[in-house]
Amino acid sequence: MGFKPLNSTISSNKAELGGGIWNAGILTIINSTFSSNTAGILSGGSIFNHEDGTLSVENSTFFGNEAAGGGAIENAGTMAIVNSTFSGNLAFVGGGLKSQGVNAKANVTNSTIFGNSVPNDGNGGGLFNQQGTLMIINSIIAGNRGEDCYNRGGEWLGDLTGSNNLDSDGTCPGSGTLDGLDSELADNGGPTLTHALLGGSSAIDTGDPASCSTTDQRGAERSGTCDIGAYEFGSSVPDSD
């Protein structure tokens, strides 16, 4: 069955590897918030997913987490992220996310990776990929310090692919240029904080319909051609009751 945090907050924890959770089994995270977790001198500020682990993240937000690698998450196994937000996380490589290893397989869909950072000599302010496969679809990876996307080369070359994405520096696969995103991580309805799209945003109605999720991170309906990122513009959040 695995471990399934639902509507949870995991905050202010510290460990050498996986500040909030270390996973080598089946971990499914839904409608949850990970904040201010730290992975000491190692990786995965909030979560470290071992090569034997399977990690699914839905409708969740990661902010203010820190690690040497993978400010919010480091993945070495199988990982799928949908309708989630990564904001204000910090690492030496992979400010938001890091996926590394020959067995690493990751997919990121309809998510927003914004305002994460690496130092001047780091790589991948938004995300970092090494050796494994990482596919990004219908996602915003923009406004990060350091490259929005970094795929390590040479003998560590990974397979970084994607479509219908928006970034701010042209480093992400299948990307156009983002404009019209609220830089403030805020309560825009739903159980977790999000970055809202602004009117006229380049993310509106430009997602790949074949890969669109049916709702956004807040639980608001996506109809027709979905918006890129975790937030659907002009769509109402259902009542919590």
Please compute, for residue 138, the number of CA atoms within 13 A of its CA located in the half-sphere on the CB side: 28
Among 25, 152, 37, smallest CA distance to 91 is for 37
What does the pLDDT read at residue 163? 98
Asked if the structure places residue 99 within a domain, the reply is yes
Percent of the chain with pLDDT strictly greater than 90: 90
Asked if the structure places residue 90 within a domain, the reply is yes
pLDDT tier, 3 (very low <50, low <70, confident <90, very high otherwise): confident
SS (H, E, C) 14-38: ECCCCCCEEECCEEEEECCEEECCE
Query: What's the domain range around 113?
Result: 9-211
Asked if the structure places residue 230 within a domain, the reply is no
CB 100 within 8 A of CB 79: no
In this predicted structure, the answer to whether residue 238 has a pLDDT above a threshold of 80 is: yes
Asked if the structure places residue 239 within a domain, the reply is no
Asked if the structure places residue 100 within a domain, the reply is yes
State pLDDT tens for residues 117-146.
Answer: 999 878 999 999 999 999 999 999 999 999
CB 145 within 8 A of CB 117: yes
Asked if the structure places residue 118 within a domain, the reply is yes
State pLDDT tens for residues 199-225.
Answer: 999 999 999 999 999 999 999 999 889
State pLDDT tens for residues 33-75.
Answer: 999 999 988 899 999 999 999 999 999 999 999 999 999 999 9
CA-CA distance, 67 to 169, in Å (whole number)? 24
CA-CA distance, 7 to 15, in Å (whole number)? 23
Domain count, the chain: 1
In this predicted structure, the answer to whether residue 241 has a pLDDT above a threshold of 80 is: no
Q: Is the dihedral of CA 226, 230, 236, 241 positive or negative?
A: positive
Percent of the chain with pLDDT strictly greater than 70: 99
CA-CA distance, 82 to 204, in Å (whole number)? 18
212 burial type by CB count under 10 A (0-12 exposed, 13-18 middle, 19+ buried): buried
Average pLDDT, the chain: 96
Asked if the structure places residue 113 within a domain, the reply is yes
Among 34, 27, 70, smallest CA distance to 52 is for 27
What does the pLDDT read at residue 1? 60
CB 88 within 8 A of CB 115: yes
Asked if the structure places residue 228 within a domain, the reply is no
pTM, two decimal places: 0.96
Rounded to 5 degrees, φ, ψ at 211 are -115, 0
Mean pLDDT of the 62-89 span? 98
What does the pLDDT read at residue 104? 98
